[in-house]
Amino acid sequence: MAYDLQLADRVQYLLGDRPDLTVRKMFGGIAFQLGDHMACGVLGGELIVRCPKEGTEGLLEAPGTRPFDFTGKAIRGFVMVEVDSLDDEALAAWVLRGMEYAESLPPKK
């Protein structure tokens, strides 16, 4: 599946040139990782945001969101956000949410 290159560029810009940033193909889209942990990504025309599993339901109340159901079953700890609901301010807030969560996780061994 292709992904929205313009959205990916916007996310990349917000993440900057951090030395711990890795960009990988994942889920048929692109994932942005901080350290070894995914922070966010782009799949089709939607932003994927990593979040605490216990906080997923509350985030799904935000406009333009839906569960991440790549496998046909909702995966807690990830939220999809439609590109149409992502003005610059909203995108920055979602990317920051994913960054903060990825940075809160312990390093992988």
**Three-class secondary structure of residue 73 per DSSP:** coil
Q: At what angle do helices 5-15 and 88-104 cross, to 10 degrees?
A: 60
Give the structural domain span for 87. Answer: 5-104
Would you say residue 17 lies in a domain?
Answer: yes
What CA–CA distance (Å, rounded) separates 24 from 72?
A: 22
Would you say residue 30 lies in a domain?
Answer: yes
Would you say residue 59 lies in a domain?
Answer: yes
Would you say residue 100 lies in a domain?
Answer: yes
Token pair belonging to 95: 């990317």
Would you say residue 109 lies in a domain?
Answer: no
What CA–CA distance (Å, rounded) separates 98 from 50?
A: 5
**Three-class secondary structure of residue 89 per DSSP:** helix
**Mean pLDDT across the chain, nearest whole number?**
92
Point out the least confidently predicted range of 3-7, 27-31, 51-55, 105-109. Answer: 105-109
Largest separation between any pair of C-alpha atoms in the chain: 38
What CA–CA distance (Å, rounded) separates 8 from 47?
A: 9
Q: Specify the DSSP class assigned to residue 27.
A: T
**Domains held by the chain: number:** 1
Question: Residues 10-55: pLDDT tens digits?
Answer: 999 999 999 999 999 987 899 999 999 999 999 999 999 999 999 8
Q: What is the CATH number of the domain that holds 74?
A: 3.90.1150.30
